[in-house]
Structure 1
Amino acid sequence: MALRRATRLMVQGQASRAFVLFARAALAGIAEAEYQVGRCYLNGSGVPVSRSDGFRWIERAAVQGHAEAEWILAALYVDGVARPEGEKSSLTDPFLSDASSQADFGAAEKWARRAAEHGSVDGQALLGYVLTSGPDSMRNLGEARYWYKRSAEAGCPQGAYGYALSLAQSAESVGDQARMAEYVRLAAQAGLSPAIYLLGVLTERGAGGERDQAAAVQLYRRAAMMGNRSAQTSWGRALMWGVGVEPDRIEGESWLRRAALAGDPDAAALIGDIYAEAGALPPNHAEAAIWYRRAAEAGHTEAARMLGLLYLLGTGVGRDPREAMNWLRLAAEAGDQPAQIDLANLLLNDEASRPEELAWARDSLDQAASSGNLVAASHLGICLLEGIGMDRDERLAVQWLRHAACEIVIAQYWYGRTLAEGRGIEADPKAGRAWIARAAAAGMTDAEAALAEMMVNGRGGPKDHSAALDLFERAAAKGHVGAMFALGMMWKGGFDVASDHVTALRWLEAAAERGHEAAQHIVGGFSQ
C-alpha cells in the first residue's frame, strides 16, 4: 500500500513525501522499495544526493534479484563507486562517456549478467558494453553482440547503438552498412547523443545511405547541444571552415574550445592549428603550443609532432632540442611517419646521439624514402652527401636528391649544388644554377644567397650584379650572414653597382656582429 502510494506521489512531483513512504517500505525489506530509495539518493529526488546511500540500497535490492537494481549496480561499478560524494551519476546511458578510471569491471560483469539473464534490456546492453570495453581478459565480442542484439530487438536505444557498433566491425557490403545505419538511426531517434553523432558521421560519408553533408552537420549540431564532445568538435570544425553550413569562425572556435576543455584531443589539436596558421591575424604560436600540449598529453600524435617542432624552432616556446626530441619520439613511437622523419633527421644531426639511435634514424629515413616519401628522400640525400650520422656516399646522395627535387625545395637547392660542384655526378654548373634558382624562387634563403654568388661570378650563366644585389638583400633581410658580408663587399666597390661606403660599412658591421670573421677583420681595419 505504501509503495503504491509513494509511486503515485513521485509521478505527481511530490518527491519528498514519496521518499518517506519508499523508505518505510524499504526498511520492511521490499526489494522494489529498496530500489526506489537507492534511485532517490542517486538522483537527489526528495533527499540530498548520496552515492554511498544510493549504492547501499541499490545493492540490497539487487541481492534480492531485482533486475533493474542489478543493472544499475553494474552501472555504478562501471561509473566508479568511489567517485566523490554528492556527485550525480548518468546511470541510464552507459555510452554517454568513457568508463571511469575507478571502474570495477569484474563486479560490473557479475551484476550486468544477472540483470541480463533476468530480462533487463538495459542490463543486456550494459553487459554488451562491459564485454566490449572491459579488460582484454574479459572481452568477448561475439557474446557482446548477442546481448546487444537481444537488447536492441526489445527496443532499448543503448542496445541498438551497441549492436550497430558491433556490426560495424564486420560491415563490408552496402547491405551490411545499411543494416548498421538502421540501428544507429533507431538509437538516434530515441535521443541517444552518441548515436546522433555517429549517424552524422555515417551521413557525411554516405555509409548506409546517400551522402548529405548539410544533414550530417545538423546532426552534429544536435548532438553537440546535448554535450557530446566529439559532435562539438565536428560542429565547431564545420562552422570554422563553412562545411555544410555558413562559416562562423568565432562560434566555431567557441565549440572547439568547449570540446577541448571537455577532453577531446582532436578539438585541442584543431585549436592549435588555428593559432599556428596565419589568418586575418598573425599566428600566435605561444597559444598554439598550449593547445598542442593539451592534445599531445591526451595521446594526439600529430599534436605531439607539432609541439616538438615548436620546441625545435623555438617558436612560441623557448628553443629546447631535447624537449623537441621527446615530443617527436612520442609521436614517432605511435606510428606518425612525419614525426619519425623529423626525429631521425634530428638524431642524425645530434652529436650526442647513441649508436643505436643513429642506426634507427638511418633505417627510418631509408624505409620512408624507399616507400616514396620525398621529405625523407631529401633528408637522406643531404645526410649521405655531407656524411651526417652516416658514411658519406655522394653518388647515392645525388640519386635521392634528384628524386626529391621534383617537389622538395631544399632538395632542389642541394641537388643544384651537387651539379654545380660536381659532387657524385659530372659537373654541370648551368643545370646546377637552374635548380638553385628554383629553390630561390620558392624563397629559400640559402638558395637566394647561392644564386646571387653564381650571378656575381658568372658561374653557370651570365653575370648579373644588379640581380645578385637584390637576392643578397632578400637573404640578408632574413638573417643570412654570408649575404650581409657579400652586400658589404658589393657596396664597397669593384662591382657593376655604384659604391656606397656608408651602406657597405653598415652591412659589414651587421655581418661582423654575427661572427663573420672576414667582416670582423675588415671592420677592424676601418676603425684603425
Structure 2
Amino acid sequence: MPSSYTFSNIFSRSKSALLKLNQKRTSKHYYSTPEDMTSSDLFQTGNNYLFGKNGYQHSHSLATSFFNKAAQLGNAEAEGVLAFCYEFGIGIETDFIKSEHHYLSAAKQNDGLSIARLAFLRKYGRPNVKIDRSEAEEWTERIRNQPTAIDWIMEAAKLYHLAAAQYTLGVCYHDGIAVEKDESVAFSWYKLSADQGNARGQGILGYCYGEGFGVKKDEIEAMRWYRLAAKQGETVAIYNIGYCYEDGIGVKKDVNEAVKWYTLSAEQGNAFAQNSLGYCYEDGIGLEQDFNKATYWYKLSAEQGYPWAECNLGYCYQNGIGMPKDDVLGAYYYKKAALQGHARAQHNLGFCCQNGIGVTKDEKEAVKWYRRSAERGNIFAYHSLGYCYQNGIGVKVNEQEAVFWYFLSAEENHAPGQLSLGYCYRNGIGVPKNETEAVKWFKRSAEHGNALAQNSLGFCFEEGIGLEKDTTRAVYWYQKSAKQNNPWAQCNLGFCYANGIGVEKDDTKAVVWYRRAATQNHARALDKLGLHTQEGLGIQKDLSAAFLLFKKAAESNHIAAQYHLGNCYEKGLGCELDLTLATRWFERAALAGCRNSHERLRLLIVRECLLSPGTTSSTINEEDLIYGGLIIGHSAPAA
C-alpha cells in the first residue's frame, strides 16, 4: 500500500460504505467517525474486515489500517496482528523488519501471538531478522502450555481458514509453542495452508514429506511442494531445493544445480543458504574453491545470527582460512554459536578453553562446555569428556567415568572414541584388561579410517596381541596408516622392510619409510635412519649425517639414540672423539634403563680409573663406580 494511502484518506474515501455497514450494527456500537472508536473497537473492526464477518466485506487493506490505528492507541493485540500482516504480506507489502518491530513492541505487553511468532523468528530467522535460539527458547517458555495465548491464531485458522494462520498454527504444534508438540496435527495444518496456495505452507509441507514429519516420507512429493513454494519466491524452499540437489534427495544428485539454488536464496538474504554457499566455496563443491568467498558468505549468515555460520566463521578465523588467523575472533564466534546451543561450537569453545586458544586457559570452563555439548549428543564432546576424566583435566581423575564417555562416543561410531576405548581395554584403564576387546575397538576405529587405530591394529597383528599373530596383516594395516602420514606407522613399516617382517626384506624401502617419519621428527625413525646411514644399508654410508640423526633423536629423549650418540662420541664416528660427552649420553640412557648404556658407562669409568696415575685394578671397589648417584652394574633393566 502506498505510504500516502493513510488511515484518514481511507475513511474519507469510503465514508458512505462505512455508514451503510454501521447501520447494520446496534446503536451501542455506532460512532459518528472512526476516530471516536476505542482501540478495542478499532481492533475488532480490523478483524471484521480481515475475515469478512459481522456483515463486513473482505478488505485486507482496510483491516490493516484499523489494526495500525488501534496499535497506535496502545492496543497490544492489534499490534501483534499488524505485525502478522507485515510478516505475511496481508493487506500490506511483506516487511520482516517492520514485522519484527511490532512483534517486539506487542510482546513486551505480553501479547501471545507476538510471543509465539518471536519464538519462531528467533529460532529460524527470516531475511533481515536475526536468529537467536537462546532468546527463542525464552519466548517459548513464556507461553509454554498456554493455548489461550494463541487464541487469535486458532480462530483465524479454524473459523476463518486464513492460510497464513493455518501455517502458523502448524508451527505451534511443530515446535510446541503454547501447545503440546504433535507432528500429525502440525502436518494437517500445514497441508490446509499449502492447499490454499500459501508459499510458506507449501515450503514446510515439502519439509514434512522430505523428513517423514507427521506423514510417510516421500522425497519426490517433498520436491514437488518445494518447487511450488519456490515459484512464489519462498527463500527457505529455494534453499531446500538446493539441499536436495546437493544430497540427491528426491532428485538426481547435482552439486552444480545445488549451488544455483543456494545462490538464488542467499542473494535474497536467507541465512541458511548463505552458510551453505560458504561451505560450497570452502570445499569447492559445485564451483571453484575460493576461501575468500566462503568467509564472505559465512559472515553474511553469521551477521544474521545463524549458529552454523558463526561456528564455521570461528573455525576460519582459528585456522586462517580466507582471512588472517585470529584465535580471539575464532573463540568469539564459537561462543556466539555456543550460547545458542550449537553443539559443535560448544565443543570447539571447550577445546579453546582447555588449551588457552583465543581465551584464557580454564580447564573447568572447558569441561562445562564439553558437558553442554555432550548433553546435545555431540560425539566429539563425549570423547573430550572421557579424555578429561582420564587425565584429570578440569575434573578429578576418574578412569571409570572416562570409559563411560569413551563408550558413548565409540557406540556412535566415533573413530577416536573407539581408539581410546581400545587403549583402555588394552591397558586396563577403568576396565579389566582385555586384549581381545581392545582389538575389537581398534578394528572398528581402523575400519573408519583412523590412522592411529590402524597402526595399533597392525602392532597387535605383528605381536599377536588379542588375536593370532599375522605379520602380513600387520603390514597391511601399517601401510593403511602410513599412507595417511602417520609417523609411527611409517616407522613400523620401515622396520618391517628392514627385518623382513610380513614382507620381503628391503633396506631401500625401509629407508624410504624411515625418512618419511623422520621428516616429522619421529625420534625412533630418526634413530633407525641413523643406523642405516651409519652402516650404508639401503642408503649411502655417511657417518656425519648419521651422527646428526642420532643427535636429533637423542635430544628428543629417545633412549636408543642416546646410546648410539654416546657410541659416536666414544669412537669418533661422524664427530670428534669426546669421552666426556660420550659418558654424558651413556649416563642419560642408563638412567632411563638402557642396559647397553650401563655396560658402556661402566667400562668408560673403569678405563678412566685405570688410566689415572697411581690407580690399579686392585684399588677399584663398588663406591668408585658410583657416577652421578647411579650404581653401575648388576640390576639394570633391559633396554
Scaled by the length of structure 1, the TM-score of the pair is: 0.69
CA shift for structure 1 position 253: 0.8
2:403 aligns with 362
2:524 aligns with 450
Letter in 2 for 1:343: L
From 70, 78, 82, the equivalent of 2:107 is 82
Q: 2 CA distance for matches of 1:336 and 1:60?
A: 40
CA shift for structure 1 position 185: 1.7
Per-residue Cα deviation, 1:166-201 (whole angstroms, up to 9, x for no partner): 333438999932222222222222122222222222
Distance 1:124 1:320, change over 3 A: closer
1:112 aligns with 153
Contact preservation (8 Å) 2:421, 2:438: yes
Q: Does 1:294 align with 2:285?
A: no
Q: Which moved more, 1:113-122 or 1:344-353?
A: 344-353
Q: Does 1:437 align with 2:492?
A: yes
Q: 2 CA distance for matches of 1:455 and 1:217?
A: 50
1:27 aligns with 36
Contact preservation (8 Å) 1:26, 1:37: no
* Number of residue pairs the alignment of both structures matches: 487
Letter in 2 for 1:225: E
1:499 aligns with 576
CA shift for structure 1 position 267: 0.9
Q: Does 1:376 align with 2:376?
A: no
Letter in 1 for 2:249: A
Per-residue Cα deviation, 1:307-363 (whole angstroms, up to 9, x for no partner): 3334444444444433333333333332223332232133122298568x5323224
Distance 1:469 1:295, change over 3 A: farther
2:21 aligns with none
From 139, 148, 151, the equivalent of 1:102 is 139
CA shift for structure 1 position 250: 2.2
Contact preservation (8 Å) 1:448, 1:474: no
Structure 2, unpaired ranges of 5+: 15-30, 50-60, 83-89, 92-98, 476-487, 495-513, 595-626, 629-639
Q: 2 CA distance for matches of 1:50 and 1:476?
A: 80
Q: Does 1:272 align with 2:314?
A: yes
Distance 1:415 1:470, change over 3 A: farther
Contact preservation (8 Å) 1:332, 1:340: yes
Contact preservation (8 Å) 2:226, 2:240: yes
From 9, 23, 26, the equivalent of 1:18 is 9
**Equivalent position SS for 1:245:** coil
CA shift for structure 1 position 391: 5.2
Q: 1 CA distance for matches of 2:530 and 2:266?
A: 62
Spell out the pairing of 1:279-428 with structure 2 (5 A cutoff). Answer: 283-350=325-392, 357-366=398-407, 374-384=415-425, 386=427, 388-390=429-431, 410=452
Q: 2 CA distance for matches of 1:268 and 1:227?
A: 16
Letter in 2 for 1:326: K
Q: Does 1:132 align with 2:174?
A: yes
Q: Which moved more, 1:218-227 or 1:95-104?
A: 95-104
Scaled by the length of structure 2, the TM-score of the pair is: 0.59
Q: 2 CA distance for matches of 1:20 and 1:502?
A: 109
CA shift for structure 1 position 434: 8.0
Percent of paired sites with the same residue = 24
CA shift for structure 1 position 233: 0.6
Q: 2 CA distance for matches of 1:33 and 1:175?
A: 40
Q: 2 CA distance for matches of 1:329 and 1:445?
A: 38
Q: 2 CA distance for matches of 1:52 and 1:487?
A: 91
Q: 2 CA distance for matches of 1:337 and 1:60?
A: 43
Distance 1:327 1:250, change over 3 A: same
Q: 2 CA distance for matches of 1:232 and 1:40?
A: 35
**Equivalent position SS for 2:139:** coil
2:263 aligns with 221
Q: 2 CA distance for matches of 1:260 and 1:414?
A: 41
Distance 1:130 1:334, change over 3 A: closer
Q: Which moved more, 1:219-228 or 1:98-107?
A: 98-107
2:74 aligns with 53
From 184, 188, 193, the equivalent of 2:235 is 193
Distance 1:274 1:502, change over 3 A: farther
CA shift for structure 1 position 502: 13
Computed over aligned residues only, the root mean square deviation of the Cα atoms, in angstroms, reads 5.6
Contact preservation (8 Å) 2:554, 2:565: no
Q: 2 CA distance for matches of 1:499 and 1:337?
A: 55
Contact preservation (8 Å) 2:219, 2:250: yes
Distance 1:75 1:327, change over 3 A: closer
CA shift for structure 1 position 204: 2.8
**Equivalent position SS for 2:316:** helix
Q: 2 CA distance for matches of 1:134 and 1:175?
A: 22
Q: 1 CA distance for matches of 2:3 and 2:358?
A: 59
2:604 aligns with none
CA shift for structure 1 position 409: 5.2
1:161 aligns with 203
2:617 aligns with none
Spell out the pairing of 1:57-76 with structure 2 (5 A cutoff). Answer: 57=78
Letter in 2 for 1:325: V
Greater Rg over alpha carbons, structure: 2
From 159, 181, 191, the equivalent of 1:149 is 191
Per-residue Cα deviation, 1:212-261 (whole angstroms, up to 9, x for no partner): 33332232222223322111111222233332234443232122012123
Letter in 1 for 2:574: V
**Equivalent position SS for 1:145:** helix
Contact preservation (8 Å) 1:349, 1:388: no
Distance 1:444 1:382, change over 3 A: farther
From 157, 160, 165, the equivalent of 1:123 is 165
CA shift for structure 1 position 139: 2.9
